[in-house]
Amino acid sequence: MIKYKEAGHIDPELLANPFWVESLTKVSPEHTHEFYEFFILSEGNCRHIVNGHTQLLKPGCLVFMRPQDMHKYEPDGEGDCRFLNIPCRLSLIEEAFTYLNEAEYKYGLLNAPLPQIAMLSQLEMAELIHKFERTQMLSTIDRVKARIYLKGIIVHIFTQYFFTPETSEQPTIPLWLEHAISKMQLKENMQQGLPALYQFSGRSVGHVNRAFRQYLNQTPTQYINQLKLNVARNLLLTTELQVVEIALESGFENVSHFYHQFKTFYHQVPLDFRKNSHVNRLTPSK
């Protein structure tokens, strides 16, 4: 069994070491570690084999790993996936628990049979990833400021996403909603937007809106915009198309609206995102 050590993975000054894992071909076989770890699945689906059990993960899953957990990743279907891994020194997590000063809460997180999972909306996921990437930027300028900023992120994660670990498992998405979401992945449906979504759902507008809030923690409009932004992101990274062409290809009829949505979601305008994408992707070390 491989066991990763703090000394080899985490800067003692910065207390955590976020890095991107671009493919399941880059991950280790079954392993454990002497430190805590968060990871955020941003693209694709995978099977997380942990402590002899299987967790099915999808984009938006935020997982809190404890030092005693043994785990590995396997494909779920034919596709690959991408995730941000955040190894954290023991002292960082223990300091957060000390600050929160909730013994029962700490016990529930650390002694559950399986690591707890929080389901983030795409906007929440993008914002959290941006925060971790900002710590990397700050670490090149002011390591003390980066460390303080990181501590705030960890406390935020615990209070925002793992405050009630006993109820962190998300309810199963009903089949009609899963069917509608699946249909919206097709370009022609995505570009039609809300009318297509409501048609495929076979439910009233109010029913669909409530279901999105309950199961996806976002509105249908937010979900469709994020689908379009995902297309735009991929076109920016893989083509030389002009921004106007990308906006139209992604289903945005108004270029100004596209700029606003893209900057809100990715915290950069499209051309800056294209230019800086190679800088923001950290080399995986695991």
Question: Does domain 2-167 sit in CATH 3.60.9.10?
Answer: no
pLDDT for 275 beyond 70? yes
Question: For 43-88, what is each residue's pLDDT tens digit?
Answer: 999 999 999 999 999 999 999 999 989 999 999 888 899 999 999 9
* CA distance linking residue 42 with residue 60, whole number of Å: 6
Contact 85, 39 (CB under 8 A): yes
Inform me whether the pLDDT recorded for 250 exceeds 50.
Answer: yes
| CA separation for the pair 151, 169 (Å, rounded) | 25
Tell me, which fold does domain 175-277 have in CATH? Arc Repressor Mutant, subunit A (1.10.10)
CA angle 221/222/225 to nearest 5° reads 85
pLDDT tens track for 186-229: 989 998 999 999 999 999 999 999 999 888 888 999 999 989 99
Q: What is the mean pLDDT of residues 3-26?
A: 90
> 137-191, pLDDT tens digit by residue?
999 899 999 999 999 999 999 999 987 544 444 556 788 898 899 889 898 999 8
> Where do the structural domains in the chain lie, given as residue ranges?
2-167, 175-277
- 235 with 187: CB under 8 angstroms? no
Dist CA 118 CA 110 (whole Å):
15
